[in-house]
Amino acid sequence: MKSLPIHLLLAWLTCMPAFAEKRERLADAIVAPDTEVKRLATGMKFTEGPVWIGAENKLIFSDIPNSMLMQWSEKEGLQPFRKVEQSNGNLLDAEGRLLSCQHAGRNIIRIDNDGSQMVLVDKYQGKKFNSPNDLAVHSDGSIWFTDPSYGLRGRAAETPGKWVYRFDPKTKQVEVVYKGFDMPNGIAFSPDENVLYIADSGKIGKIRAFKVSGKNIDPQPLFEIDLRCDGMCLDREGRLYTTAGGGIHVYDPSGKKITLIPVPEKPANVCFGGEQFDTLFITARKSLYSVKTLQQGAQ
């Protein structure tokens, strides 16, 4: 192995403090120093899928094994919201209606503001999905979602793969977007919707960023992040907040890591919420946490 020339070594050593200082500045722009990660509630079995309901100043999230959607608000604390079939990922559509991926139901449901519920989609080419996991809603109204096999629990799969889909509620058309994952999981659009982030929590264990081309994505990723991530969300500047061992790992829009926000329990999913949309709500195993940030979430 060749030695590094002395002038390059000196230049590298000179730059190291500058790199460290820049990274520290970037990290301080996400969460102020000494900001506390608060535990809001605990005692559940496995929490997932947080989504902020701004009109009611409350958070909805899943307790998967209990087949229960939970709700939390600063005023009323933790309460059951409604019984479901092992819901996982949740999100609002453009009209503020709650969309939920059901593991046991093997479908995506919509819960209207009057409390009524309907199955939006449960099959591809006449075959039941494995267990829809997480979803992202495009401004054109389409729903993009992941379908790993976590929720099958011994039941036979009907579809031949664990894929990523696009569903158009207007035409009822379901299309396969991507097949190149082992266990596709978290999914989210960049604020301008030009990039789609998809996480694999299986053997591949990476987040891939894809260029969005109309109703499809380019098959070759723009870049990969070597992280076995579950759920994710983005802020208005396109920074990516991901859940993995250790806490919330934050990346810039090019995939470079900015900082880690430690969480006491391993997180499964995360979203922005609060009156100013600058609070991260984190579902982590048996508990719900929050942390105040210096950024606002993408809506």
Instruction: Work out how many domains the chain is built from and give that number.
Output: 1
Given this model, what pLDDT does residue 3 score? 40
Residue 7 located in a structural domain? no
Consult the annotation and say whether 56 binds a ligand.
Answer: no
Q: Is residue 17 part of a domain?
A: no
Specify if 14 maps to a domain. no
Give pLDDT, residue 26: 61
Give the whole-number percent of the chain exceeding pLDDT 90: 88
Give the model confidence (pLDDT) of 198-254 as tens digits: 999 999 999 999 999 999 999 999 999 999 999 999 999 999 999 999 999 999 999
Please tell me the predicted confidence (pLDDT) of residue 16. Answer: 46
CATH number of the domain residue 102 falls in: 2.120.10.30
Q: Is residue 192 part of a domain?
A: yes
Task: Give the angle 294-236-199 at the CA atoms, nearest 5°.
Answer: 105
Range 175-185 average pLDDT: 98
Is 185 known to sit in a ligand binding site?
A: yes
Q: Is the pLDDT confidence value at 2 over 90?
A: no
The response to whether 113 counts as a known ligand-binding position is no
Spatial distance between the Cα atoms of 30 and 51, rounded to a whole number of angstroms: 20
Please give the average per-residue pLDDT across 84-92, as a whole number: 98
Active site residue 230: yes
Determine, yes or no, domain membership for 48: yes
**Domain-embedded: residue 243:** yes
Backbone dihedral region for residue 193 (phi beyond 0: left; psi -120 to 50: alpha; all else: beta):
left
The sheet that has 107-111: what strands, in order across it? 87-92, 98-102, 107-111, 117-121
pLDDT-derived band at 59, boundaries 50, 70, 90: very high
**Per residue in 121-147, pLDDT tens?**
999 999 999 999 999 999 999 999 999
Write down the catalytic residue from 230, 235, 252, 278: 230
Q: Which domain holds residue 257?
A: 25-292
Could you tell me if residue 185 is inside a domain?
A: yes
Rg (CA), the chain: 20
In a domain, 266, yes or no: yes
In this predicted structure, the answer to whether residue 24 has a pLDDT above a threshold of 60 is no
